[in-house]
C-alpha cells in the first residue's frame, strides 16, 4: 500500500488541526462551569479523539472501507464539544446584551411597583389631580437639585404655585442645610406628599422609600449602561443583585403594610446568575432566536462538523488498493477502449 504524503493530506491535516484547536479552547471554556480545572483535560482528550477520528476516516475512505461507524463515533464525541462551544461563544458574544436586558427589566419592575403602590394608597384628591400633583412635585424636586440652578429658583417657584393651586393649600418654602440641595428637594417633596395624602406613617414611609429607590436605581442603571462593554460585563451582576435585593425587600414590605387584599407581590430572582451555564445559553438562544444566535450556531457547527464533511467529499475512495472510487473533485470516466481492426 503506497501512502505517500499528498497536498490534499497536508491541507486536510492543517485544516483539521486549526478547527479542532479552536474547538478545544472553546470546549475548555464552555465546560468550566461543570468540571472546573478538569475541563482542560476533558477538552484536550475530546479534541485529540476528534483529530484521531479524522485521520481514521481519511484512511478508511482511501482504503475503500465503510466509514459509517467512524462518522457515528465522531458525531457522538463532537456533540459534546458542540454543546460546550455554543455555551462559550454565546456567553462571550451575548453576555452584555443579556445583562442590559436584565437591567432594563429591573427599571421597569421598580416603575411598576411604584405605580402599583401609588394606586393602592388613599389620597385627599381624585386620581387625575393626584397624578398631576405628583408629576409637578417630581419636576420641582429635580429643579431644586439641578446643578446649573440649585435651590428654589424661578422655575421651582412656578411649579410650587401650580401645586398650591391644585391642592388649595400653602406650601412652605424651606431652606437648605448648608449646601445640601438633595436634602432640600427631599424635604420639599415630603411636605407636598403629606399635603395630598391621607396616609398612615408606615404608608407614607413606604411611598417615600419606593420613590427614592426607583429614582436611585434608574439613575445607577442608566449610568452603568453608558460604560464600555468590558466595564458593563464586570459591574452588571453586582448591580443586578443589589437592586433586586432592594426591590424584593420593598415589595414584601408593601404587601405587609398594605395587606394581601390590596397588593400581591412575587419576589424576582436574577436570571443572569445563570450566565455561563450550558442550560441557560441554549434556553436564552431559543427564546430570543435571531441573527446573532444563528451566527453563533453556524460557527459552532463549522468548528466541529465541517472537517468531516470535507474529508468525506475530497477523499478518493479506494485509491490505496487500486479501486476505482472517486471524490466529488475527481470525475474522470473509466472503461475499456475498443480499437477497431482496420
pLDDT score of 342:
44
pLDDT score of 239:
93
pLDDT score of 314:
80
Cell of 323: 479501486
Does the pLDDT value for residue 312 go beyond 90? no
pLDDT score of 8:
75
Tell me how far apart the alpha carbons of residues 181 and 144 are, in angstroms, rounded to a whole number: 7
pLDDT score of 109:
93
pLDDT score of 277:
72
143-181 per-position pLDDT tens digit: 998 888 888 888 889 999 999 998 888 988 888 888 888
Q: What percent of the chain has pLDDT over 90?
A: 21
Partners of 123 in beta bridges: 197
pLDDT score of 287:
81
Q: Taking Cα atoms as reference points, which of 145, 141, 184 lies closest to residue 160?
A: 141
16-61 per-position pLDDT tens digit: 888 888 888 888 888 887 788 898 999 999 999 999 998 898 888 8
Report the pLDDT averaged over residues 71-83. 90
| Residue 274 vs residues 53, 87, 237, 278, 280: alpha-carbon distances, Å | 34, 11, 11, 9, 6
Tell me how far apart the alpha carbons of residues 125 and 115 are, in angstroms, rounded to a whole number: 17
Reported confidence tier of residue 316, pLDDT bands at 50, 70, 90: confident
pLDDT score of 253:
92
Does the pLDDT value for residue 335 go beyond 50? no
Tell me how far apart the alpha carbons of residues 140 and 153 are, in angstroms, rounded to a whole number: 10
Query: 98 — phi, psi (to 5°)?
Result: -65, -45
pLDDT score of 334:
44
194-246 per-position pLDDT tens digit: 888 777 788 888 888 998 899 899 999 999 988 888 898 889 889 999 999 99
Tell me how far apart the alpha carbons of residues 71 and 312 are, in angstroms, rounded to a whole number: 10
Tell me how far apart the alpha carbons of residues 92 and 30 are, in angstroms, rounded to a whole number: 10
pLDDT score of 4:
66
113-150 per-position pLDDT tens digit: 988 888 887 777 777 888 898 899 989 999 998 888 88
Amino acid at each position: 500500500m503506497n501512502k505517500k504524503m499528498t497536498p490534499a493530506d497536508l491541507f486536510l491535516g492543517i485544516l483539521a488541526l486549526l478547527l479542532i484547536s479552536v474547538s478545544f479552547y472553546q470546549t475548555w471554556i464552555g465546560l468550566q462551569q461543570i468540571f472546573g480545572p478538569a475541563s482542560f483535560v476533558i477538552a484536550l482528550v475530546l479534541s485529540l479523539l476528534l483529530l484521531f477520528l479524522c485521520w481514521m476516516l481519511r484512511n478508511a475512505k482511501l482504503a475503500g472501507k465503510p466509514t459509517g461507524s467512524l462518522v457515528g463515533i465522531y458525531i457522538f464525541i463532537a456533540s459534546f464539544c458542540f454543546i460546550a462551544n455554543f455555551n462559550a461563544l454565546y456567553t462571550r458574544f451575548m453576555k452584555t446584551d443579556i445583562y442590559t436586558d436584565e437591567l432594563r427589566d429591573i427599571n421597569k419592575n421598580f416603575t411598576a411597583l411604584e405605580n402599583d403602590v401609588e394606586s393602592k394608597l388613599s389620597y385627599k384628591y381624585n386620581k387625575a389631580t393626584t397624578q398631576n400633583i405628583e408629576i409637578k412635585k417630581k419636576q420641582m424636586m429635580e429643579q431644586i437639585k439641578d446643578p446649573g440652578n440649585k435651590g428654589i429658583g424661578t422655575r421651582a417657584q412656578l411649579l410650587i404655585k401650580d401645586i398650591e393651586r391644585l391642592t388649595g393649600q400653602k406650601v412652605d418654602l424651606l431652606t437648605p442645610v448648608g449646601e445640601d440641595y438633595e436634602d432640600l428637594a427631599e424635604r420639599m417633596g415630603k411636605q407636598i406628599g403629606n399635603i395630598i395624602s391621607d396616609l398612615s406613617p408606615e404608608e407614607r414611609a413606604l411611598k417615600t422609600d419606593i420613590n427614592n429607590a426607583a429614582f436611585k436605581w434608574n439613575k445607577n442603571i442608566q449610568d452603568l449602561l453608558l460604560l464600555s462593554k468590558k466595564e458593563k460585563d464586570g459591574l452588571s451582576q453586582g448591580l443586578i443583585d443589589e437592586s433586586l435585593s432592594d426591590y424584593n425587600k420593598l415589595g414584601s414590605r408593601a404587601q405587609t403594610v398594605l395587606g394581601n387584599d390590596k397588593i400581591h407581590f412575587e419576589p424576582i430572582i436574577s436570571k443572569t446568575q445563570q450566565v455561563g451555564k450550558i442550560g441557560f445559553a441554549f434556553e436564552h438562544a431559543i427564546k430570543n432566536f435571531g441573527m446573532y444566535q444563528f451566527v453563533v450556531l453556524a460557527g459552532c457547527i463549522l468548528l466541529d462538523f465541517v472537517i468531516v464533511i470535507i474529508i468525506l467529499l475530497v477523499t478518493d475512495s479506494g485509491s490505496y488498493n487500486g479501486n476505482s472510487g472517486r471524490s466529488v473533485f475527481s470525475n474522470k470516466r473509466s472503461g475499456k477502449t475498443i480499437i477497431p481492426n482496420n
